[in-house]
């Protein structure tokens, strides 16, 4: 016979299990960010030409960052309005913009270090807090948002000092498109110009 105490114990265990699974997901996300961060720091502080470092950085981004997902997010409602060809062109140039924005300032980050903070579950994702230190600069609080932390972790956002980078980019694109009658081709051209000017 199932007693009331047994039912209460089972209910308590059932309530704790999701928390345990979520905590494990946060731990896996922290290990993932530690590995990614170590790789990034090694490239920034290591030897090699700017072009060689760009190649190394691109490999890390392609492996650990959900570039397509971030690209779609940044385009917002305009993604659904785009033709398949426009979507393809946009994602291709978005990848180049992302790589260029990161690698164009590698020299400024020479000597960078980072320390791990706490990690916590957030809905279906995980947030991993770190502190990034550059020479002659104050420490910066950087949170990494990781999707699918338990199965196939990917970085989907970086929140630096409370500012979401993907949300800021989305707002910039929305503002540009609003001032250009929603013409995605105009945004794609502007993004290509940004890459060529930074190269």
Helix (H, G, I), strand (E, B) or coil at 105: coil
- Domains of the chain are 15-198 (3.10.450.710)
Per-residue pLDDT of the chain (199 residues; tens, 9 = 90+): 445 554 444 444 444 445 455 567 888 999 999 999 999 999 999 998 888 999 999 999 999 999 999 999 999 999 999 999 999 999 999 999 999 888 887 777 889 999 999 999 888 899 999 999 988 889 999 999 999 998 999 999 999 999 999 999 999 999 999 999 999 999 999 999 988 887 6
Do the Cβ atoms of 169 and 178 come closer than 8 Å?
A: no
C-alpha–C-alpha distance, residues 114 and 141, integer Å: 10
What pTM value is reported for the model? 0.85
First to last CA, the chain: 74
């Amino acid at each position: 016979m199932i007693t009331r105490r047994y039912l209460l114990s089972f209910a308590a265990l059932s309530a704790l299990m999701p928390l345990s699974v979520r905590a494990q997901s946060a731990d896996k996300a922290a290990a993932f960010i530690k590995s990614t961060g170590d790789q990034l720091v090694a490239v920034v502080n290591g030897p090699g030409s700017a072009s060689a470092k760009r190649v190394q950085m691109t490999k890390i981004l392609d492996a650990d960052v959900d570039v397509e997902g971030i690209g779609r997010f940044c385009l917002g409602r305009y993604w659904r309005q785009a033709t398949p060809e426009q979507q393809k062109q946009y994602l291709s140039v978005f990848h180049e913009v992302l790589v260029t924005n990161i690698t164009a300032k590698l020299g400024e980050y020479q000597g960078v270090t980072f320390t791990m903070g706490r990690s916590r579950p957030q809905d279906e994702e995980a947030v991993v807090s770190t502190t990034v230190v550059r020479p002659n600069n104050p420490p910066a609080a950087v949170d990494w948002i990781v999707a699918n932390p338990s199965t196939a972790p990917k970085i989907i956002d970086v929140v630096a000092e409370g500012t979401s980078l993907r949300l800021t980019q989305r707002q910039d694109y929305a503002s540009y498109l609003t001032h250009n009658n929603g013409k995605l081709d105009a945004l794609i051209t502007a993004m290509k110009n940004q890459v060529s000017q930074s190269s």
